[in-house]
Structure 1
Amino acid sequence: MTQIPFTRRPWLDRFFGLTEANTTVRRELRAGLTTFLTMSYILFVNPQILSAAIDVPNAFVQLLMVTAIAAAFGSAVMGLVAKYPFAQAPGMGLNAFFAYTVVLGMGIPWQTALGAVFISGVLFVLLSVVGARQAIVDAIPLSLKLAITGGIGAFLAFIGLKNAGIVVDNEATLLGLGQLTSAPVWIAMIGLLISGALMARRVTGAILWGILASTLIAIVTGAQVYVGPDGTLGAFSGFTGSIAGIISAPIWPGDLVGQMDLAGALGLGVLSVVLTFFFVDFFDATGTLTGLAHRAGYMKEGQEMPRARRLFASDGLAAMFGAFMGTSTTTAYVESASGIEEGGRTGLVAVTVAVLFLLAMFLWPLASAIPGAATAPALILVGAMMLEGLKHVDWDDITEALPAFLTLLFMPLTFSIANGVSFGVISYCGLKLLSGRGREVSPILYGIALLLALRYVYLGE
């Protein structure tokens, strides 16, 4: 088949390199929609968490708007500048650390905490521009890169199981099996079976169709899978029947924009907070981006990650912009793996997510029609697919196998990608050194392991 000359290809194809990535506009748009649906929960969860610490008029709606704007900006930068199919939004875990540990626990004003987030973003950009983040990625051995990808998959699956209520808290055993007859569980199980069967039949858009099918089943059957204002579950209540019941005009978050306190964040008393934000997000985001890039086929063995500086700088810029707008650290989302699994390979996926987040500012009541039980199967299924690379780990070599295992295990069990990467790196360096094979490790990785160990000793969690 004759290939169309570059100058005659549509501008979207030329700009994003669709032909080179062996993808199409339709596939990229579908992948973007899938990614958005699996991460759109952040529009409601992030305001719920941050409103506990940020006291402004109409806090929930203002924070929802900020969340959407920060996600749109971060995803757009990732798509247009770095040209990767990775979406960004205010990160889970970091928002809880911001609200409950820094502001409520330590008594630091939320404006100062936002300043700390901004400064950490500046550090991300500086390290990205000089190539330090790429050097760190290159220093990580293949076994750990594969384990990071698999660990993110296990983490995604665990989030999906938790969101569906399949895995719940248990005082005696820490974790336990949820109530299998509850509506969220059976809706999630039906969605998982539908998506899995469609994928086995190689149906295009299997994950997206599974989300939509399980949502429709929940609405038609009146399943109580929708979280109400009081936190209890109920059936889909529908809309008012008028256009006003679906579309709501955005509210400018004037009480949040530009409120960060940089001077306060630079004080010695907040230095540990800045460093904690930096360390946690640096390795969380670096681990996430590395795992996603490997899954998307951007990281071939022996080759460097393309456009690495722009990729990592985009992550830092997103964190800076999010702090300016009034939200905790904006970072790459592991849920981007769902779009990658749908075939998304270029920045057009991230740009699509950005547009959908902007539309969500007008249609956020409609977004509530997608329950968490419907998106949970996508996370579980994608998580399973991301474990595929673990077969290439040398399990016969304990110095490779044990760090990979710890990386894989620590991510879901500590609910932190950063912890998984940290314990994997520390154990890898320690085992290689003590087994007399220390020269197999890059000096850069030894330095990272030392910093990570000191971080746990002096800064804790």
Structure 2
Amino acid sequence: MTTPVPPRLSALDRYFGITAAHSTPAQELRAGLTTFLTMSYVLFVNPQILSAAIPIENAAVQLLMTTALAAAFGSAVMGLVARYPFAQAPGMGLNAFFTYSVVLSMGVPWQTALGAVFISGVLFVLLSLAGARQAIVAAIPHSLKVAITGGIGAFLAFIGLKNAGIVVGNEATLVSLGQLTAAPVWLALAGLVITGALMARRVTGAILWGILATTLLAIVTGAQVYPGASGLQAFQGLQGSVLGIFAAPVWPADLIGALDLAGALQMGLLSVILTFFFVDFFDATGTLTGLAQRAGYLKDGQDDMPRARRLFAMDGLAAMFGAWLGTSTTTAYIESASGIGEGGRTGLTAVTVAALFLLSMFLWPLASAIPGAATAPALILVGAMMMEGLRQVEWEDITEALPAFLTLLFMPLTFSIANGVSFGVLSYCGLKLLSGKGRQVSPVLYVMAALLATRYIWLSE
């Protein structure tokens, strides 16, 4: 009997392990496009926040270019070196801390603040290469791992609801239902139904098709979901662009290499460096752990991620390179879950995202054609899918259930993955210790809890 000869794999397939991950190149490319579309808002939001702290000529455009370069580099090294389908870009939240707390409130020069971001990135890399970050991941109990995944899902869904205006702020109740007749709201709800129906019918590329269908609906109906315009009018009259689509990139000469390392090393900025470090350390670690589990790299009961040192080191390297480019901390994006939901399983997904961010430097007017109301349904649906693992929590054991619940709850309600991970770990260690089950907890987790408690007490504002 003749033994069947396995099909010959391409060099691309062998490098990324596409077939081994039960994926295809087309699926990976589609997943990369989906991830890019759901996180492309960073091209506009990050410059808007940072420009308040960085008063340079043509700040918005220069910061947009720096954002694109940082995202491209971070995603490329994550895909090519770590070979994970996780995209990276300047993180939301940390850019606000950079601008409003460090630069505007504390009066730290923006160049010095960039130096602090660079140093925190160096710490990330050193701890990753020493195995500290993967040791922490291995020490996190399974119930918290699945709770982190579920919490990120709730966070994603909350971001989607907020971006669409379905959930809005309310002075009396903190949050409430938005105006259902507003264009972004009804468009997002329509997109949610369309995308959900496509997923129910198991249509290949359902999330991406849902984003495109919702965008087309916005253009056809003339929905007021574009700043100051509707539909394709958003492309008209853009100075320096061709047909409202193509625009020459601007080299961010005033930002690249402007960081001040000597100033950042002063003792007075130690708390700033440590805050950047602590927040992003646990934010990124929680994000990467949740995404790894969602992508199937962390099976039930498994502690170690493949290529963990490279994975975490690339996160730190991206932060360093982003600071040199002139932006706040670059980190893994939870929106990568949308590409994973689309089938992305290998580094080719992240490399695709990197290529699209580079392309966006030339096509950035076109990127504005995808409104937030079109990507919001993708975030909500992916968030729903990430709840699946919560069934694995031992809900009958309060020492497992309460920390998992707090992890799940704190992420969307405090708008921080780091807070969710932190309070989950603190409550887990405290409950186990006081209930006589302290030996079930890894010593590494106790050390982590002590550091977190120190951070909240010593570095609290």
Say whether the fold is shared (TM-score over 0.5). yes
Quote the residue 1:261 is aligned against. 260
Quote the residue 2:117 is aligned against. 117
Task: Give the secondary-structure state (helix, strand or coil) at the position aligned to 1:394.
Answer: coil
Quote the residue 2:50 is aligned against. 50
Give 1:14-53 correspondences, 5 Å limit. 14-53=14-53
Residue 235 of structure 1: how far off its partner (Å): 4.8
Could you tell which deviates more after superposition, 243-252 or 164-173? 243-252
- Is the 8 Å Cα contact of residues 219 and 230 (structure 2) preserved in structure 1? no
Task: Give the secondary-structure state (helix, strand or coil) at the position aligned to 2:23.
Answer: coil
Amino acid at match of 2:121: G
Task: Give the secondary-structure state (helix, strand or coil) at the position aligned to 2:54.
Answer: coil
Quote the residue 2:361 is aligned against. 361
Counterpart CA distance in 2 for 1:77 and 1:200 is: 35
Quote the residue 2:248 is aligned against. 249
Give 1:169-248 correspondences, 5 Å limit. 169-228=169-228, 234-240=230-236, 243-248=242-247
Distance 1:156 1:67, change over 3 A: same
Q: CA RMSD of the aligned region, Å?
A: 1.3
- Is the 8 Å Cα contact of residues 137 and 303 (structure 2) preserved in structure 1? no
Counterpart CA distance in 2 for 1:119 and 1:16 is: 31
Deviations 1:188-230 (A, max 9, x none): 00110011000000000000011000100101111001124xx
Give 1:107-186 correspondences, 5 Å limit. 107-186=107-186
Residue 10 of structure 1: how far off its partner (Å): 0.8
- Is the 8 Å Cα contact of residues 426 and 449 (structure 1) preserved in structure 2? yes
In structure 1, stretches of 5+ residues that fail to align are none
Matched, 1:351 2:351: yes
Matched, 1:451 2:451: yes
Quote the residue 1:294 is aligned against. 293
- Is the 8 Å Cα contact of residues 226 and 236 (structure 1) preserved in structure 2? no
Deviations 1:50-70 (A, max 9, x none): 001101000000000000000
Deviations 1:421-446 (A, max 9, x none): 00000000000000000000000000
TM-score calculated relative to the size of structure 2 = 0.97
Quote the residue 1:99 is aligned against. 99
Quote the residue 1:80 is aligned against. 80
Counterpart CA distance in 1 for 2:356 and 2:218 is: 23
Counterpart CA distance in 2 for 1:304 and 1:216 is: 43
Amino acid at match of 1:46: N
Counterpart CA distance in 2 for 1:26 and 1:239 is: 30
Quote the residue 1:437 is aligned against. 437
TM-score calculated relative to the size of structure 1 = 0.97
Distance 1:253 1:267, change over 3 A: same
Amino acid at match of 1:72: A
Counterpart CA distance in 2 for 1:226 and 1:275 is: 39
Distance 1:441 1:3, change over 3 A: farther
Deviations 1:130-176 (A, max 9, x none): 11100000000000000000000000000000000000000011111
Amino acid at match of 2:290: G
Quote the residue 2:409 is aligned against. 409
Amino acid at match of 1:66: T
- Is the 8 Å Cα contact of residues 89 and 333 (structure 2) preserved in structure 1? yes
Residue 268 of structure 1: how far off its partner (Å): 1.0
Counterpart CA distance in 1 for 2:244 and 2:401 is: 55
Matched, 1:308 2:308: yes
Distance 1:50 1:238, change over 3 A: closer
Runs of 4+ in 1 over 6 A off after TM superposition: none
Counterpart CA distance in 2 for 1:282 and 1:94 is: 12
Percent of paired sites with the same residue: 79
Deviations 1:267-320 (A, max 9, x none): 111110000000000000000000000000001223511000000000000000
